[in-house]
Amino acid sequence: MQEYAHEFAEHWYSLPTPMQAAGGSWIVRAGHNKAKPHYGVGPKSIQQYGFHFIKSGMVQVTCGGITVELGESDAFCLFPGKSYVYQAIPDSAKELQMVWIALDGPQVSLLLLELGLKDASFHLKRALDHRVWATIRQFILYFQKGKTDPMREQSLLYELLWKIKQNTDIQRASPKRHWVAEVKQYLELHCTENIKIDHIARHVGVHRSHLYTAFMKEFDCSPMQYLQRLRLEKGAQLLKHTGLSVTEAALSLGYPDLFSFTRAFTKMYGISPKGYRG
């Protein structure tokens, strides 16, 4: 570590590869420090997301009119464009030591929200256990070696966020998105696959009869009727806008054979697939 006026620190800087940029989240810089007693930063703002992990000691963070005191195993995140101040609490029994990563990209805010972090709620209590610190140590070693391996870097980033998420109670603190809407999205995504109602019921965690009743009430059709409609609408598009044969279209849509597709298509559109194509 190099000595500075307020700390001993080591810094690393990174430039995203095209693969990382396309993924929507990447590390801009990282570092770790041992703070001197008079350590303090700000007031200032940054243009990325500054995710800080407290290894030891105590720190006071102020942002958006909110002041919190954080210690070992806690974390805080500085959001882009927000003015902040943070400083070591001098009467702490241990010196302040932190590790940080600065993140950028359109996906970052969504990833942090998975942990319960947003600009109005920028800190986590007791979120860093030994498993999290093991990944953080891997990050430090990765940067210290100075070798660029974008896939390894992204893997460590997601591993870190996933482990932190396991230590937060965000799942219990926020209401779950209504599962009926999730069923509809599930059907739309997998409509050409051999999916069953039992599969969907297990996915959303309800009984199949309850799923059927709730879906009927919300969308005025059963899940399988909606699935059939999705397939046939896609079938009509394939017939009009591609050169696939009727048999190829049928198999591409998940039908077991030409006859099953022709019968269902004719029933819905009142004309055979060949007649529809013209």
- For residue 212, give the CATH number of its domain: 1.10.10.60
| Beta sheet of 84-88, edge-to-edge order | 40-44, 84-88, 59-63, 66-70
Q: What is the pLDDT of residue 93?
A: 77
Q: Is the pLDDT of residue 173 over 60?
A: no
Average pLDDT score over residue span 9-15: 91
Whether residues 184 and 154 share a domain: the answer is no
**Statement: residue 117 has pLDDT above 60:** yes
Domain end marker among 173, 194, 228 = 173
Q: What share of the chain is helix, strand, coil (3-state, %, to 5)?
A: 45, 25, 30
Q: Which tens digits make up the pLDDT trace of 92-111?
A: 778 999 999 999 999 999 99
127 plus 204 within the same structural domain: no
Are 44 and 144 found together in one domain? yes
Q: Residue 169 has what pLDDT? A: 62
Let me know whether 107 and 160 are in one domain: yes
Those residues whose C-beta lies under 8 Å from the C-beta of residue 3, and which sit 6 or more positions away, are none
Q: What is the pLDDT of residue 174?
A: 46
Q: Does 195 share its domain with 154?
A: no
What's the pLDDT band for 199 if we cut at 50, 70, 90? confident
The pLDDT tens digits of the residues spanning 144-153 come to 988 788 999 9
For residue 64, what are its two tokens?
């958006």
Residue 172 has pLDDT above 90, yes or no: no
Shared domain check, 210 and 169: no
Predicted local confidence at residue 21, as pLDDT: 93
Boundary residue ending a domain (173, 207, 228): 173
In this structure, the answer to whether residues 243 and 138 fall within a common structural domain is no
Q: What is the mean pLDDT of the chain?
A: 90
Q: What is the CATH number of the domain that holds 115?
A: 2.60.120.10
Domain match, 243 and 146 both:
no
Full domain range(s) for residue 152: 2-173
Residues above pLDDT 70, as percent of the chain: 97
Count how many domains the chain has.
Answer: 2
Q: pLDDT value at position 233?
A: 95
Instruction: Output the pLDDT for position 209.
Output: 92
User: Is 169 in the same domain as 183?
Assistant: no
pTM above 0.85, yes or no: no
168 with 273, same domain: the answer is no
The residue whose two tokens read 């992204």 is 154
Please identify, among 142, 173, 204, the residue that sits at the C-terminal boundary of a domain. Answer: 173
